[in-house]
Amino acid sequence: MRKFAPFMYVLFISVLVFLTVQRPSVHQYEEWRYNRYSIECQGSVMCSYTNTNEQKFPLLEIGKNINEDYLIFSTIEQRFETMDGKEMLIKAIGIMGRFFPIIEKNVPTKG
């Protein structure tokens, strides 16, 4: 059993380093958000949503919380308001170079 202990330590450290290096960035989140929801932002507050008919609708970003304090993953939460006062919420976790939605509220998805 003691023969495998050094191997397990090396394996654990290697996996930890791999996951840390593969943690996605905010730029990757913005690309993921556009590809999944057709939402793109110009600057820090004004955003737009493009529907399936290629019509653009303005959105107002009313909140954003980026948490990259974790070693192997990051979380991003973004709130938008439509022109008719509806609130949209996207919360995602990023790990291994990809983002996965945790919460989607009033958000249109492609396809």
Say if CB 88 and CB 107 are below 8 A apart: yes
- Measuring CA to CA, which residue among 92, 93, 87 is closest to residue 107? 87
- 41 vs 58: CA distance, rounded Å: 10
Per DSSP (E only), the strands in the chain are 39-42, 46-50, 56-67, 73-82, 87-95, 98-105
- What is the per-residue pLDDT across 62-81, written as a single tens digit (0 to 9) for each? 999 999 888 888 999 999 99
Say if CB 97 and CB 25 are below 8 A apart: no
- What is the per-residue pLDDT across 16-68, written as a single tens digit (0 to 9) for each? 888 777 789 999 999 999 999 999 998 878 999 988 888 899 999 999 999 98
pLDDT at position 81, please? 94
